[in-house]
Each structure stands twice: as C-alpha cells, then as structure tokens.
Amino acid sequence: MDYVLTHATLIDGTGRDPITDAAMWVRGGRIAWVGPVAALPAEARAVSEQDASGRTVIPGLIDAHVHVCWNGRESVLELVKRDRDLIVLEAVKTLRRILASGTTTVRDIGGHDYVEMALRKAINAGFIAGPRMRTSGKVIAMTGGHGYFIAREADGPDEVRKAAREQIKAGADTIKLMATGGAATPGQDVMASQFTVEELAAAVQAAHALGRTTATHCHGTGGIKNSVLAGIDSIEHGTYLDEETADMMVERGTALVLTLGVANPDLTDVPPAAQAEAKRLEGILDKLSQRMRQSVQIAQAKGVFIGAGSDAGGNPLAPHNFSMARELELLVDHGFSPLAALSIVTRNNARILRWENELGTLEPGKLADFVLLSADPLANISNVRAVEAVYQGGVRVWPPAETLLM
C-alpha cells in the first residue's frame, strides 16, 4: 500500500500553519513524506495519486478521556445492572461511532469488568472497527468514593498499590484514581478530597515502576494539589484549579486533561431516560462550568500542559456523538485558536497517552492516522464535523469498505 494524497490543505497537528496544495505520501501504513505538491520527491511521483482537492487533512483526533463501555445516554448507575453481553454489543456500536466522528485513538479511563480490554483485543485483531486504545481498567476509588459502583474500592497505601497492580495485570496502560467527589455519583461533594497523598503516591509508585502512567479525577483544589504532590501524571477535569497549584503542575510537568463537554452538556436533546438525571445535574454543572472557565484561563496563563477528553459515556448527558468535535468547539469558545485546539486534541493528547512517537501529528515516520474533512476547520472549528473519510495506518476505515459489513 503506497499512495500520495495530493492538493489538500494539510494541518499537521504541530501547531504550524497549514500547508496549502499539500501532498502526503503514505507508504506501508506510515507517513513517508509531507509537504507542498510542488516539492514532492521524484520517487513519490511514481506511486498512485489520490486527489484530495478541496479537502482539509488533519491528524486523527485523540480522546484522552472516554468511557467506551457506557452509552452516555443512560446513567452508569443503571447500566451496571445490565446484562454484560448487552454492554459489550452496545460498546461495539459506540466504538464505530467514535471512529466515524474522526477519533482514531482513545484512552478509556474507567471501564467495566475489563470489557474494554477485550474490545481492544478485538480491534487489534481486526474483528471489529474502532479507535486505537489505551485503557485504565477499573477506576480506583476509596470505599464509597466517586464512581464506587464501577470502581475497585481500596483504602490505605498497601491496598491502593495492590489495586493498581491488579489493573496492570489485567492490561492497563494507565491507573485512574478518584481524588475528589464527582457529580455523577449522587450525594457527593465535588470539593471534598478523596484519598490521601500517601494513597495516591502508592499507586504512582506501582504504576511508574512498571512503565505505566497515572491519572486522577479532580474537581476540588485539594484533590488537585494532593495529586500533584503524589506525582500523578494527568489531572482530569481540574475544575477548581488555582494559581498556586497551576505553578506546581508546571514545575512537575503534570498535564491537565480538560473535559469541557461534560461540564457544558447539550440540554436541548436529552433522551427520556436521562431527564431526571439532567434535572439533578443542571444546577451542579452550571456552577462547575463557570469555575472551569476560570481554570482554563489560569492554566493557559501559567503554561500548564493541556490535553482534552470528551468524558463521553461518563453520564447520561455525555453521548458518543461527535463528542471530540464538541470538545474542540468548546476549546475555541474558551479562548484557544482553532489551530491550537487541534494541536491539543492531537499532538498533546498523544503525549499524554505516551504515544507521541507514532501518533498525534502528520510527520514522516508516524502512523498514517488522518481524517479528510470537506470543509476548513480553521475557518470554523465546527467543520471538524464534516468528516468525509477516516484512515488508520493508511487504510480507510470510514466509510467502511463493503467487505467490512459482511
């Protein structure tokens, strides 16, 4: 498989200006060369050409925070009671939707009974279509902590260490812990810290010793600070980030994974099953989204390393429906340029997933994961919804070839 995509506008994800009338040479599933058509190497002129005039090429989007086992249309509290086989089958559909929206890689950061591990194997084996996956296995929460209904509950450094090792044994790339209360767990205080620094540090040591990363769910400032002190790699949400903690994050290289979509849900299209939950969450999310705006400003001003995730599936108001497009729209709404926002969800997220050697930018040597858009996302970021085709490793995976439907 060897071809050259020509005459497209190409955004490479590095933050550099787009290349107009660009060519991208794909050879053996990887990018061999990128640049203006006029500068195409002689060797590439002999391979088959795919004319992409009028299209914009962007790197495949990466979702750094998603829950593929849950449909984002019903409460996780209810879904856990569902038959496991049904959860698996629905997740297969969800993974295809994620891919069709231009997201070629995800980090599942709170799974169910290791279903997500089996799904990843099925994708890697070519049984089903779906994004490349990093997984965390079960979230780790203190007894009764946030998301206890899907968590491995653990208390004290020794037990937390063991819980982390269990997830790694099951196939986890990253360890996810709940460092504060959360909105999706009824009756919780999002400001309250959960886990001590010592408990979090035990998980960090266990993970780092085996080459894995760590991430914590954090709303309140105390939980963010505890996480940074413990050496956590990425703070998820980071709603009540303050200046002092932002400085600590910069100093220690802690990443912030924004999840703006989940704080700003689309309440115009709430399915009947989610009406009650929407009512309960409305007041809480209103407050969180206002404070989140402040956190984003602080993070930007201080130069915190920023990634982004949809948190789709995490609650019934977070559907798997162009959720990273929505995240991009909200990043722009929160003050990032469309070009910067695209780098956050490609290059930066690849680094957070420790996959930057192969993914995240359209540069020679990287895997050819890219999206063809029929409209320019720099003119209007919502044009990332205009997905015409999605490629993984140079192969078109959306729309699917007919043989894939058999």
Instruction: By CB under 5 A, name the binding residues for Zn ion.
Output: 311, 314
Which long-range contacts (C-beta less than 8 Å, at least 24 apart) are formed by 31-38? 31/362, 31/363, 31/364, 31/365, 31/366, 31/367, 31/368, 32/364, 33/364, 34/10, 34/362, 34/363, 34/364, 37/6, 37/7
Closer CB to Zn ion, 64 or 99, in the complex:
64
DSSP annotation of 292 reads H
Pairing of strands 370-373, 56-59: antiparallel
Q: Which pair of structure tokens corresponds to residue 101?
A: 């929206």
In angstroms, give the least distance from the CB of 174 to Zn ion.
13
Closer CB to Zn ion, 64 or 160, in the complex:
64
In angstroms, give the least distance from the CB of 259 to Zn ion.
7
Closer CB to Zn ion, 61 or 215, in the complex:
215
Secondary structure class of 360 (helix, strand, coil): coil
In angstroms, give the least distance from the CB of 268 to Zn ion.
22
Closer CB to Zn ion, 13 or 220, in the complex:
220
The full DSSP string for 110-160 is S-STTHHHHHHHHHHTTSS---EEEE--S-EE-TT-TTTTTSEE--SHHHH
Closer CB to Zn ion, 131 or 157, in the complex:
131
Closer CB to Zn ion, 18 or 223, in the complex:
223
Peptide bond into 399 cis (omega under 30): yes
Residue whose Cβ sits closest to Zn ion: 314
User: Angle between the 197-209 and 221-230 helix axes, to the nearest 10 degrees?
Assistant: 40
In angstroms, give the least distance from the CB of 229 to Zn ion.
22
Give the Cα separation of 244 and 101 in Å (integer).
37
In angstroms, give the least distance from the CB of 65 to Zn ion.
6
In angstroms, give the least distance from the CB of 256 to Zn ion.
14
